[in-house]
A and B are shown apart, each in its own frame.
Chain A
Amino acid sequence: MPSLLESLAQFVIEGNAQKAKETTDEALATGVPVADIINKGLVAGMQVVGQKFKCNEFYIPEVLIAARAMKQSMEKLRPLIADSGIQPVGKVAIGTVQGDLHDIGKNLVGMMLEGAGFEVIDLGTDVSPATFVEAVRERGVGAIGLSALLTTTMPAMKETIAALQEAGYRDQVKVIVGGAPLTQAYADEIGADGYAPDAASAVDTAKALLGITA
């Protein structure tokens, strides 16, 4: 018989929001610590989803429905998080760069980061270098994730990195880039700290760059 938290993880993987919420309630009622519900239930489940997506075993709708189950359970936990002193593992701002309106990849990255316990600030699409700089200055993010789907908007990544440099924040923040036309070589060329070929890798890259071992 699986434990409550194993069941919760499994319901997240299956995308069964109803069962995930019920199991979350049950875990709370039996006194399971909120941190365990998040880490051993929700995060553990989303990690499996990310791995399955990475190796083409899961498709996009399956990631979306798992994320919905994770989020609905998280809604139940949110009021308790402050009291239990749980901190997000890190804070990341993400956005699709200026001139580019594609958001599917960026949204998947946001879900996977949230699923891994990050606080995610989604700046949206067509995000100017100045807006990324502002997120670093005002919101204290440890990393920013830049997305581009067009070869024509890839140069905006370079401009964003230059804007961070100019504003004097480049050393305070890790820059991760991703998107269909990108390569590790291009990431190196523009001076990004990391390149993530898919949403699950984005989590691994963010953790590695921010020194998060959990």
Chain B
Amino acid sequence: MLIIGERINSTRKSIGAAVKAHDTDFIRQEALSQAAAGAHFLDCNGAVVGVEAEPETLAWLVQTCQEATGLPCAIDSPNPGAMEAALAVHQGQPFINSITAEREKFARILPLIKQYRAKVVALCLDDRGIPQTLEARTQAADFLVTNLTAAGVPLDDIYLDPLVFPVSTNGEAGKQVLETIRYVRATYPGVHTTCGLSNVSYGLPVRKLLNQAFLVLCLGAGLDCVIADPTDPALMALLYAGEALLGRDEYCANYLAMARQGKLEQRQE
């Protein structure tokens, strides 16, 4: 399970203030705590500074995170100019977050994926807008896999994101994500799936509980990459337990290692 640490997102208030102030120590701490908690990639989003300042800001975020941890980053921006500035300073294989099946956006982001041999989060979203049904998602997934592979992007670098919406406004929202994950697994072996969990619980109390339950359901459906907060010990403990139960942790080695490190005992929250 690939874990993309989601915390360095400037749309969160505390991070946004640190990003605006270019508070290197604060960002370093956020990067280090996520690395220590088991993140494999660090998501970097600097959009709060506005379109003009974003390229310089995103590049600074990536450099700060990499100097602190040595981990690769997920470059999180809707703005290709900012993405390019950050990719130019990134060391190792980057993650691009994200491309979509919206035709214009696809054409603008694809060259960056190829130039930097990046992994990519591919959102199941096309020009018809927010997908309301399973079919809308699978059609976008078909377009993305077909056209990314035709352009030479390896299957192993494609991470389809079904798009998670709150169950508070649509009771089918969670189920549609699970069905999309199963569809991708069955239709495109070798292609990965990922999602941001926390949107599912928007508008409801005790959000962490819903996020945790949803992680387990997604794991069961075949999710193999997650954009989440690795510093949530309960979430991570469930992830290790789930992988062991699904036969994705040979000899339960990772589960045992985490138990010895005391990482499975901090569930009380």
Contacts and interface: CB of A to CB of B under 8 A. Distances in A.
Which one of B10, B50, B168, B202 has the highest number of Cβ atoms from chain A below 10 Å of its Cβ?
B168
Contact of B130 (A59, A101, A181): A101
B50 A59 contact: no
B192 to A, nearest CB: 24
A125 B203 CA distance: 20
Given A151-B50, A152-B51, A155-B51, A101 B203 contact: no
A96 to B, nearest CB: 10
Nearest to B10: A151
A150 interface: yes
A59 B129 contact: no
A23 to B, nearest CB: 26
Nearest to B48: A151
Nearest to B54: A152
Contacts of A126: 129
Interface in B115-138: 129-130
B11 A59 contact: no
Contacts of B129: 101, 125-126
A147 B54 CA distance: 22
Given A60-B168, A64-B169, A181-B11, A103 B130 contact: yes
Nearest to A53: B203
Contact of B47 (A60, A101, A152, A180): A152
B78 A150 contact: yes
B130 A125 contact: yes
A79 interface: no
A167 interface: no
B242 interface: no
A31 interface: no
Interface string B191-203: 0000000000011
Interface in A98-125: 101, 103-104, 107, 125
Interface in B76-134: 78-79, 129-130
B78 A104 contact: no
Interface in B41-58: 47-48, 50-51
Interface in B204-231: 204-205
A171 B235 CA distance: 52
Contacts of B202: 60, 104
Interface in A10-44: none
Contacts of A180: 11
Contacts of A64: 168-169
B79 A61 contact: no
Q: Interface majority SS on A: helix, strand, loop or mixed? A: loop
A150 B130 CA distance: 15
A61 B203 contact: yes
Given A104-B166, A104-B169, A125-B130, A59 B205 contact: yes
A181 B9 CA distance: 13
Contact of B203 (A104, A151, A152, A181): A104
B52 to A, nearest CB: 10
A103 B203 CA distance: 13
Contacts of B78: 150, 152
A33 B10 CA distance: 53
A104 B168 CA distance: 10
A64 B171 CA distance: 12
A151 B54 CA distance: 11
B85 to A, nearest CB: 15
A73 B78 CA distance: 43
Contacts of A61: 168-169, 203-204
Interface in B5-62: 10-11, 47-48, 50-51
A61 B166 CA distance: 10
Nearest to A125: B129
A150 B47 contact: yes
Contact of B204 (A59, A104, A151, A155): A59
Interface in A157-202: 180-181
Contacts of B47: 150-152
A103 B50 CA distance: 22
B51 A59 contact: no
A157 B258 CA distance: 49
A59 B79 contact: no
The 3 A-B residue pairs with the shortest CB-CB distance in the complex, in nearest-first order: A60-B203, A60-B168, A151-B47
7 contacts: A104-B166, A107-B169, A125-B130, A150-B78, A155-B50, A181-B11, A181-B48
